[in-house]
Amino acid sequence: MSDLTDAKRAEIKAALAEFERRSAVVEEEMKPLQARLVPSQKRLDEIEGEREAYLEQFEDDIAGKCETCGKLLFVGEPGQRPHDDDPGIIYCALHGMTFADVLEAWRGAGELDEYQMKDRDNARKSVDDHVANGGLLSDIMPGVV
Ligand SMILES: [Zn+2]
């Protein structure tokens, strides 16, 4: 329970009313500006609709955009789709996870079920194989999107 006096409470209510009044003045000033933006916003919405319709034609061919650099990636191009639980996240061949990143990700994984343990063991094996063949932990893991 607040121990503010009735006078202090009245002062706070008056201050908030003054903020409301000042905001209402600015909102009134903005109305003509917002009205002028409506046609432009409508045109932007139309372009976005056209863009989506255009891309729908190629939905089987376009994998998505690199999460880091935004590069458009076509299905089968080099890159990574590292998250089974979020397959929309992809990376180009330059911005994918390194072998060290994979080890680090599993190090912080916490409790694992038997399938996750199998995935972790497979990941460790691929890192071991890569290093055994002269690869570096800093190499980006190969893959396709
Ligand atoms: Zn990239």
Give the model confidence (pLDDT) of 41-53 as tens digits: 999 999 999 999 9
Q: How far away, in angstroms, is 98 Cα from ligand 1 center?
A: 13
pLDDT-based confidence at 83, cuts 50/70/90?
Answer: confident
Is the Cβ–Cβ distance between 52 and 62 less than 8 Å? Answer: no
Q: How far is the CA of 124 from the centre of ligand 1 (A)?
A: 24
CA distance 130 to 136: 7
Determine the residue type at 112. Answer: L
Separation of alpha carbons 39 and 139, rounded Å = 50
Q: Which secondary structure element, helix H or strand E, spans residue 91, and what is its range?
A: strand 91-92
| Stretch 96-113: mean pLDDT | 89
Q: Which of 17, 137, 5, 101 is nearest to 109 (CA)?
A: 101
Mean pLDDT within 119-139? 94
The span from the CA of 19 to the CA of 23, in Å, is: 6
Is the per-residue pLDDT at 84 higher than 80?
no
Beta bridge partners of 144: 78
Give residue 140 CA to ligand 1 midpoint distance, Å: 12
φ and ψ at 86, to 5 degrees? -145, 75
Tell me how far the alpha carbon of residue 116 lies from the centroid of ligand 1, in angstroms.
Answer: 27
